[in-house]
Amino acid sequence: MMLQLGLIGYPAAHSLSPWIHHQFMSDQNIEGKYSLYEIPPGEFESKIQKIKHSSLDGFNITVPYKEKIIAYLDEIDDAARFLGAVNTVKVENGKWIGYNTDGIGFYNSVAKRYPEALSSNKKVLLLGSGGAARGIYYALLKQNVSTIDIANRTEEKARKIIEDLDGTRFSKALSISDAEKKIHHYDAVIQTSSVGMSPNDDQSIVKITDIKNGSLFSDIVYRPMKTTFLKQAEALGANLHYGHEMLLYQAAGAFEIWTDAVPDTQEIMIKFENKLRGDSNVNK
């Protein structure tokens, strides 16, 4: 029996998810297909009803539908409920069950390379307050990280995440300018916005002039692989964590939900990095 998976979003045409999940299926000797479902906003309800009657075993869902899909689900897990967003749906006995693997995907990708970077005694700063920040904040709270501050251009948005997820004992909201001055106090700094994404490669959400010795700097942007934010941190001796690592582990979490199989992320990571660099020898 062939596994039928897909991605729902808009736009979705340039997504790397099909490549990633076909690698996972090959690694696990699973026959299947991962398709793209690019749905314009005005057609969401009608297209979702058609998909409800399709033979899909599961699907990912991305912007702008991570919240909208919830109304069409039969069940959701705790992470998705707390975050108010779903990125993975499993079809089980005719029911659509929603999950969110964004935050735990980020955490697992960091823990694989830097096991102590996000341990309970660390001070962490998140830059940005969108859906990715929310997911990562939730995952760090679940891992009992002791201090997780959030900085955003609109400080109130950062404060809302903290209050929504009941993190006032562990966190404070900062302006970007305040965070910029205090970056050297943190053990890990995580850039969660789209600032610095291609074609605006020269941009950075903050100017980094001083860092804590041995600190980790992470950027969820994966095009380019090494953003201006990361280049600044690298020049000061920081340990780096890249956006494509989160993307792969978030996908691995979804794949495990669908199949109960754990793909070899280490081997696939090498292929993925070569693909992002434009290596023509990587399998399509």
Residue-wise pLDDT for 136-173, tens only, equals 999 999 999 999 999 999 999 999 999 999 999 999 99
Q: Look at domain 3-100+245-276 and name its CATH class.
A: alpha beta
Residue-wise pLDDT tens digits, 121-134 = 999 999 999 999 99
The full DSSP string for 61-100 is: E-TT-TTGGGGG-SEE-HHHHHHT--SEEEEETTEEEEE-
Region 63-73: mean pLDDT is: 96
Residues 129, 154: Cα–Cα separation, whole Å: 9
pLDDT at residue 283 greater than cutoff 60: no
Chain centroid offset of residue 173 CA: 21
Give yes or no for a contact between 32 and 4, defined as CB atoms under 8 angstroms apart. yes
Mean of pLDDT over the chain = 95
Residue-wise pLDDT tens digits, 224-275 = 999 999 999 999 999 999 999 999 999 999 999 999 999 999 999 999 999 9
CATH 3.40.50.10860 region(s) of the chain?
A: 3-100+245-276
Region 41-61: mean pLDDT is: 95
pLDDT bucket at 278, cuts 50 / 70 / 90:
confident
In the chain, the amino acid numbered 20 is I
Burial of 260 from C-beta contacts in 10 A (0-12 / 13-18 / 19+): exposed
Q: Which residues contact 15 (CB under 8 A, 6 or more apart)?
A: 7, 9, 36, 62
Residues 15, 9: Cα–Cα separation, whole Å: 10
Please, where are the H alpha helices in 90-223? 102-113, 131-142, 155-164, 176-182
Residues 107, 114: Cα–Cα separation, whole Å: 10
Q: What is the pLDDT of residue 279?
A: 58
Would you identify the CATH topology of the domain 103-241?
Answer: Rossmann fold (3.40.50)
Which residue, 61, 57, 56, is CA-closest to 80?
61
In the chain, the amino acid numbered 142 is K
Is 66 designated active site? Answer: yes
What six digits make up the tokens of 200?
């605006």
pLDDT at residue 284 greater than cutoff 50: no
CATH 3.40.50.720 region(s) of the chain?
A: 103-241
Give yes or no for a contact between 185 and 162, defined as CB atoms under 8 angstroms apart. no
Region 89-111: mean pLDDT is: 96
Chain centroid offset of residue 22 CA: 19
Query: Which of these is catalytic: 33, 47, 50, 66?
Result: 66
Region 47-74: mean pLDDT is: 96
Residue-wise pLDDT tens digits, 164-219 = 999 999 999 999 999 999 999 999 999 999 999 999 999 999 999 999 999 999 99
**In the chain, pLDDT over 90 holds for what percent of residues?**
94
Helices 102-113 and 131-142: angle between axes, nearest 10 degrees: 60
**Between β-strands 75-76 and 88-92, what pairing exists: parallel, antiparallel or unpaired?**
unpaired
